[in-house]
Structure 1
């Protein structure tokens, strides 16, 4: 039976973006060719992705429904970012970008669907957290 809707939260971890890469050198292949070594530039990304994966796995267990989404999916996500004490602006109009935050979130949800290409609608926002940083996510069948 296909899942219809699902919500979960991850708080206590600063959301991390995914997408920027950093060149760290080259490696010589067995054939003698040099290939570039590139790593993810976002510090803390592995910790963030594990926190998301752990939270969604636990929420699925708690719901009693371990089935994956089938077909088209809609994802709604609100990222809560830490506001530095000196920041007075209402909205976090600074990095990280919502598209890179979305990428790290979607890539962390492999157990929820077969592939993130199933996401046909994505509604994402970012706000300053009034409490702990994190993300609130709702995933549902679309339409």
Structure 2
């Protein structure tokens, strides 16, 4: 069985844990920058949860990243892509694809899509620029032996 749904919003990577020290106390805290994105994932996924999947699963995620304004022209060319604009959202300073996928897999576990994200045996991820609505398209396929 295959399930597909769209998540709307700006994809956010899983924040790295941060360490702190206050006097003698040392601790670690998780960033909250992806909390809104996590809620959007849960909202989009919940209607598609029937029962927790117990078999291995394949997941395909296509991320749609909004283009920066610097990629577009100005004035009457404001809706046209500059010839110098990169085709793909790649390079230093761009969100790592594996960090973008992590919140999706974690939230799908939390909403009961499957028992554990360790069941994911196939993971295909892509990130592309869009001039439309940013977000992600998620396809989940149960793998039967």
**TM-score, normalized by the shorter chain, greater than 0.5:** yes
TM bucket by the smaller chain?
Answer: 0.7 to 0.9
Question: Aligned-pair distance for 1:117?
Answer: 0.2
Matches within 5 A, 1:1-143: 4-11=1-8, 13-26=9-22, 34-40=25-31, 43=33, 45-60=34-49, 66-87=50-71, 88-94=85-91, 95-110=94-109, 111-142=112-143
Deviations 1:46-100 (CA, angstroms, capped at 9, x unpaired): 110111011100234xxxxx12212210000100011102131000004211100
Partner of 1:17, secondary structure, is coil
Asked if structure 1 preserves the Cα contact closer than 8 Å seen for 2:105 and 2:117, the reply is yes
Q: Which runs of 5 or more residues in structure 1 are unaligned? A: 29-33, 61-65
Question: Aligned-pair distance for 1:141?
Answer: 1.1
The TM-score normalised by the length of structure 2 is 0.79
Asked if structure 2 preserves the Cα contact closer than 8 Å seen for 1:19 and 1:103, the reply is no
Partner of 2:69, secondary structure, is coil
The TM-score normalised by the length of structure 1 is 0.80
Asked if structure 1 preserves the Cα contact closer than 8 Å seen for 2:15 and 2:30, the reply is no
Moved beyond 3 Å, runs of 4+ = 24-28
